[in-house]
Chains A and B, each alone.
Chain A
Amino acid sequence: MLDWLYALWPGLETSVGLLSLQPPGWGGNLLRGAWASLQIAVGAFALGLLIGTAGALGKLHGGPVTRDLLAVYTVVVRAVPELILILILYYAGTDLLNQALRALGQRPVEISGVVAGIAVLGIVQGAYATEVLRGAIQSVPRGQHEAARAYGMGSVQIFRRVTIPAMLPLALPGLSNLWLIATKDTALLAIVGFSELTLETRQAAGSTRAYFTFFLAAGALYLLMTLLSGRIFGWIEARYRRGQAAQ
């Protein structure tokens, strides 16, 4: 079926063979790596949102000490390269956990790569999410908040029913950017030896010497993830903007 294409482009047949899903090909490894990357990205993004929400509320409504500590957190995380934060948090996190376990009389454990990756990238994402959400919450008019209070809503209810729906359209562009950063930052875990897409690709490329085939294939997978999620975010944004004045 593809014979005419192979005749036209001699290298294609070997490339397709190398990328096939069955064991002589490395396609299965690449897809497994992509799945691992996606899991970490989703987990880190979710954790980042949690930290970011807490951080934004702390920066807006917290006491002076909370606010200063949060300022230190966001400034440090945004000034130090992710790679170094990952190494520090990875080593320090494993160390502290094992010391705590030893103190409790348990045996030390090996932290799974997925959990460590999610925790570390989540802390990084949290700093950026704090700033995005703080800006969005701040731009909700005070009057809406006061009106909700006048209706007798509690602060949790106000947050859930007034603040979140009103700030989401403003926060979504920033959050969608953060999601893209999360998917791309998973590649950094390759350097601490975690088998996500980039490391799987490098191993496949290194052992077959077909660098272009594998790096381009992995690039296509990343691009597929980012373009597809861009569409999804666009769709969510359009949904939440319904009924709002055009900008």
Chain B
Amino acid sequence: MNRQRIAQEVFVPHRIVMVAVALGLVVWAALAMRWDWIPRYYDLAVQGIWRTLWLLALSCLIGFALAVPLGLAQAAGPRVLAAPARAFCTVIRGTPLLLQLWLIYFGVGSLFPQFPWIRESELWPYLRQAWPYALLALSLSFAGYEGEVMRGAFKSVAGGQLEAARSMGMGRFAIFRRIWFPQALQRALPTLGGETVLQLKATPLVATITVIEIYAVSSRVRQDTFIIYEPLLLLAVIYMVIAGLLALGFKLLEQRFNRGMLG
């Protein structure tokens, strides 16, 4: 969009009024509400945002790595693989993430200390913390939803393409890497962008198992200072900024992927 079009879109009388009202609200919020707690919690908040972003990025990567075989098994696998993959996706998509998170943290987490060899292992310092359980639950959840998306994407690639690749003498792995996966990914990308924003919106749940990410920081401000609205509003703005950046990133990615493709 060029500058002139943007100007035409924004400088409509009612939009100018709306922007003015919005600015007025921001100024009012800045002046009339209490923000004196920000300097005290600044470091903690920055740490919290980092933790949210790390959890989001890692859980999306691990979840997607699991989703590809899950989708492939359902789209083209033998029944021995397709049935468990479908069952996994159904269970993950049919129960609340909060329940899965608590099952993994309180349930699985309470089993480990019973075994002395786990307590003596190298992994124990990590297993005593909450974040591995949070990461596991978020990754499995993402895998369940994206497995379903990838199933549809793999199925939507035309069979003739795969046959053509086979007749060119490509091996199964080469077909997957060079023909099947890129096209499936291109089709799934708009959905994956939306799902990543949904995953971002799921991250505050990990605060319930004592992972101090940005939502938990705002809860602490609320408990310490009895200020209710300000931390929540700031938090909403932070999530909106992250969601906006994610949407923008996926849009650029889509443009890159769509280069050289027919509309």
* Residues of chain A at the chain B interface (Cβ within 8 Å): 64-65, 68-69, 76, 78-85, 87-88, 91-92, 180, 184-188, 190-191, 198, 201-202, 205-206, 209, 211-212, 215-216, 218-219, 222-223, 226-227
The answer to whether A223 and B18 touch (CB under 8 A), given A80-B239, A80-B240, A91-B228, is: no
Contacts of B98 in A (CB 8 A): 187-188, 190-191, 198
A209→B14 CA distance, assembly (Å): 59
Task: Find out whether the CB atom of B103 lies under 8 angstroms from the CB atom of A216.
Answer: yes
Contacts of A85 in B (CB 8 A): 236
A69→B18 CA distance, assembly (Å): 9
Q: What is the chain B residue whose CB lies nearest that of A63? A: B14
Contacts of A83 in B (CB 8 A): 204-205, 215
The 7 closest A-B pairs by CB, nearest first: A187-B96, A211-B107, A215-B103, A79-B243, A226-B94, A81-B201, A184-B96
Task: Find out whether the CB atom of B95 lies under 8 angstroms from the CB atom of A219.
Answer: yes
The answer to whether A79 and B110 touch (CB under 8 A), given A65-B18, A88-B233, A219-B91, is: no
A84→B202 CA distance, assembly (Å): 11
CB proximity of B100 to chain A, nearest CB, Å: 8
A-B contact count (CB 8 A): 112
Majority SS at the chain B contact face: helix
A79→B194 CA distance, assembly (Å): 10
17 further contact pairs, Cβ within 8 A, besides A79-B243, A84-B232, A226-B93: A68-B14, A79-B201, A81-B203, A82-B201, A84-B239, A85-B236, A88-B236, A92-B229, A184-B96, A185-B96, A186-B96, A191-B208, A205-B102, A215-B103, A215-B107, A219-B103, A222-B99
Contacts of A185 in B (CB 8 A): 96
Task: Find out whether the CB atom of A68 lies under 8 angstroms from the CB atom of B95.
Answer: no
A219→B94 CA distance, assembly (Å): 8
A92→B229 CA distance, assembly (Å): 8
Most buried by B among A78, A80, A180: A80
* Residues of chain B at the chain A interface (Cβ within 8 Å): 12, 14-15, 18, 90-91, 93-100, 102-103, 106-107, 110, 197, 200-205, 208, 215, 228-229, 232-233, 235-236, 239-240, 243-244
A97→B40 CA distance, assembly (Å): 33
A82→B229 CA distance, assembly (Å): 16
Contacts of B110 in A (CB 8 A): 209, 211
Contacts of B93 in A (CB 8 A): 180, 226
A75→B100 CA distance, assembly (Å): 28
What would 12 A/B residue contacts be, using CB atoms closer than 8 Å? A76-B240, A79-B244, A84-B215, A84-B235, A84-B236, A91-B229, A180-B94, A205-B102, A211-B103, A218-B99, A219-B91, A223-B90
